[in-house]
Structure 1
Amino acid sequence: MHPILKPALRRGWHDLNTVQFGVTPAHAVVLGPVDTATGSFLTLLDGTRGVPLLRDEARRMGLPDGHVDALLDRLTGAGLIDDATGGGPEADALRRRTAVLDRLRPDHAALTVTTSEPAEGMRKLAARHTMRVQVRGAGRVGAVIASVLAAAGVGHVDVRDGGCVEPWDVAPGGQTTEAVGERREVAAQRVVRATAPARPPRPDRRRTAPRPAEHEQGGPQLSLVIVAPRDGLGIHSPDPVAVEDLMAAGIPHLYAGVVEATGMVGPLVLPGGTGCARCLLLGRADRDPTWPRLLAQWGSGRSSRQVQACDVGLSTAVAGLAAAHGLAFLDGELPSSTGARWETSAPGLDWHARPVWPHPECPCGAGEGGYGKETPVEEEPHDTMAG
């Protein structure tokens, strides 16, 4: 182990004996009392020395035997120590790819802030390279989500969509003006390859038909699917039939999109554990018996051909939040979209969360004891996200 004080946390001294690591209340730690000799020793925790050499340095500074080990235990317990050489073989392989790691250094720094164990951030970053995510939808939201995931180090990002790129699909970080008229799926995959720190293999361009979701036999299994339909109705009232394959295979999936200048991220569906699209449909029909009739009218051919009310600022914000929630899940956390849907509407743009409860009549089984089952039902937003 080569201990290093996490560089992403800024250091400041309250006084001669009290040091603060980090700026924001969410991640800052105050450490004290710290004597002058120990304060000087902290500068040696830069990742260039192993523990035996640090013990030798401490003796030369007049620090007592055992002081280094006790200090490292204290700093590690506070989540302030990283290991410059840890994380396993995958992390070592990533460190050897200097150009790739340079692209991912901000992501690694963020992971060190949000994890506590030494080298856990590097381990999670390296693990992303082995994961496969599918994005269903390559419009203003979906294509940007795909490019963000690829840029964050997810090794396999597949995009599924039909039709050709329209001028109104173009967005920063997503479909480009040069792609107008090209197949959406092909154009989005090119964006993914361009933004990935480690370029994935180029697809076989001899294939002209959209590939089925199960075509990657022998490759990594799907870790997550993000459903980002270009038609906003598909995010406001998602079609359960469209994700039957995911429910049957137990694949987690996250919804994201914009409908009528309202952005939505979630729910993150854990099949059998949280409320799903059918739970959402059944619950809404319980409260409003006319709901199926309204859906049929809203989904009519005439309505679906209209250009969506999806301004580029809101769509980009939704894509960024959805990608962040997806990455949190891939890194082993349950983001706040698990069993809930974050919503914001222009022009106020205040984010709030609505729960998506398991329905007792839904065959998904989440109503039989899934995530969050014991929480009472609420109809109004129950939380507000800062910012």
Structure 2
Amino acid sequence: MHPMMKPALRRAWRDRQSVQFGVTPAHAVTLGPVDTATGALMELLDGTRGLPLLREEARAMGLPDGRAEALVHRLTAAGLLDDPTAGGPAAAALRKRAAAHDRLRPDIAALSVIHPEPGGAAGAVAARRAIRVQVRGAGRVGASIAATLSAAGVGRVEVLGRRGSRSRAMWHRCGLPTEAVGERRDTAARRLVRRAAPDRPPRAAEAHDPGGGPALSLVVVAPRDGLAAYAPAPSDAEGWIATGTPHLYTGVVEATGVVGPLVLPGCTACAGCMERGQAERDPGRGRLLAQWRSGRHRTVPACDVALAAVVSGLAACHALSFLDGGAPVSTGARWEVSLPQLSWRSERITPHLDCACSAAGKTERRHTSAVGPAHDTMNGYTRSAE
């Protein structure tokens, strides 16, 4: 072990005998009592020394035997210690890919704040390389989500867009670049995904077998016309419900952005549950949906570029939280934000007794996860991460 203080957490002396690690209340930890000599030893925990050398350094400082081991144990228990050599075989393989590892260093540092065990963050980021995600939609929101997931280390990100749909706008940060104008959106989005992570695993297998490889860990439904995310048609999700494929709805409709719900088939409410619940609360809902979904709309869907950036960023965060074994608040819930006030509001989506998805009556249990190529379980639902 090569103990290292987690560099992502800024530390400062709160008083003469206690040190605070971290700035924000969400992740800050205060450790005490800490004397001056122990504080000096703490400065040597930079990942370059193993325990034998740390013992020698502690003796040279006049500290009693066992102080180095006790400090390491104490910091590890507090979730403040990392190890640049830990994380398992996948993390070791990632470190050998110098370009990929350097690009993902900020992500590893961020995850180290929420993964208490040494090497946990590196293992989590490395595990992303074996994950397969499909993004349905190549508009401003979908293209940006796909590129973000790719940049965050997800090994296989597939983009599916509406056939024949071509880009006509200069999207820059939130989607496709200027040179993509006139090109098929899905083709341009796939190129964007590749540029976001040029060190991703080879895509030769994808070209020959786009439906092969590992099972889908997540489908992100981000249609260019955000109505299909705001009021998703249950029939579109029948295949995912049947195969137990998790799916997350997100998009922008008019001047409102939505993230969620994240659907875990058989465990949380699906699009069918949502539609049935809305119909019970609003008897005219079905008639409105039939009209909104009928025919082909030739007008350009409204999609504020800044709002799309916010929605795509938040949706990508929720997706990564789930893929890393977390339980984002979009699980069984929808979050909305509207211009111009931009205040977020949430709505819990309740499983409906008459829905065939069988989520009604299921007991929610806390999510437990296994880092690395294993499996994660949430509410009795198992997601492959092989």
Fold in common (TM above 0.5):
yes
Tell me which residue corresponds to 1:245: 239
1:357 to 350, 353, 356: 350
User: Given the alignment of the two structures, is residue 68 of structure 1 paired with residue 68 of structure 2, yes or no?
Assistant: yes
Q: How far 1:355 sits from its partner (Å)?
A: 0.6
Looking at structure 1, the residues matched to 285 and 108 of structure 2 have their Cα atoms a distance apart, in angstroms, of: 46
Q: Which amino acid aligns with 1:355?
A: R
Q: Match of 1:12, SS?
A: strand
Q: Match of 1:167, SS?
A: coil
Q: Match of 2:189, SS?
A: helix
Q: Which runs of 5+ in 1 are unaligned?
A: 373-387
1:284-339 Cα distance to aligned partner (Å, 9 max, x none): 1111222111111112225x322222100001100000000000111110001011
Aligned partners of 2:141 and 2:312 also within 8 Å:
yes
Q: Match of 2:43, SS?
A: helix
Q: Which runs of 5+ in 2 are unaligned?
A: 366-386
Tell me which residue corresponds to 2:220: 226
Alignment of 1:304-343 (within 5 A): 304-343=297-336
Q: How far 1:227 sits from its partner (Å)?
A: 0.3
Alignment of 1:238-277 (within 5 A): 238-277=232-271
Looking at structure 1, the residues matched to 206 and 40 of structure 2 have their Cα atoms a distance apart, in angstroms, of: 60
Aligned partners of 1:165 and 1:175 also within 8 Å:
no
Q: Which amino acid aligns with 1:305?
A: R
Alignment of 1:8-23 (within 5 A): 8-23=8-23
Q: Which amino acid aligns with 2:253?
A: V
User: Given the alignment of the two structures, is residue 94 of structure 1 paired with residue 89 of structure 2, yes or no?
Assistant: no
Q: How far 1:183 sits from its partner (Å)?
A: 1.8
Which stretch shows the higher mean deviation, 169-178 or 343-352?
Answer: 169-178
Tell me which residue corresponds to 1:140: 140
Q: How many residues end up aligned between the 2 structures?
A: 364
- Please give the TM-score of this superposition, normalised by the length of structure 2: 0.90
Aligned partners of 1:358 and 1:370 also within 8 Å:
no
Aligned partners of 1:164 and 1:180 also within 8 Å:
no
Q: Which amino acid aligns with 1:356?
A: I
Alignment of 1:273-284 (within 5 A): 273-284=267-278
Looking at structure 1, the residues matched to 147 and 8 of structure 2 have their Cα atoms a distance apart, in angstroms, of: 25
Q: Which amino acid aligns with 2:126?
A: A
- CA distance 1:349–1:318, shift in 2 (3 Å): same
User: Given the alignment of the two structures, is residue 167 of structure 1 paired with residue 162 of structure 2, yes or no?
Assistant: no
Q: Which amino acid aligns with 2:194?
A: R
Looking at structure 1, the residues matched to 137 and 231 of structure 2 have their Cα atoms a distance apart, in angstroms, of: 16
Looking at structure 2, the residues matched to 112 and 46 of structure 1 have their Cα atoms a distance apart, in angstroms, of: 15
Tell me which residue corresponds to 2:84: 84
Looking at structure 2, the residues matched to 54 and 139 of structure 1 have their Cα atoms a distance apart, in angstroms, of: 54
2:360 to 363, 367, 379: 367
Q: How far 1:197 sits from its partner (Å)?
A: 4.7
Q: How far 1:272 sits from its partner (Å)?
A: 0.6
Q: Which amino acid aligns with 1:183?
A: R
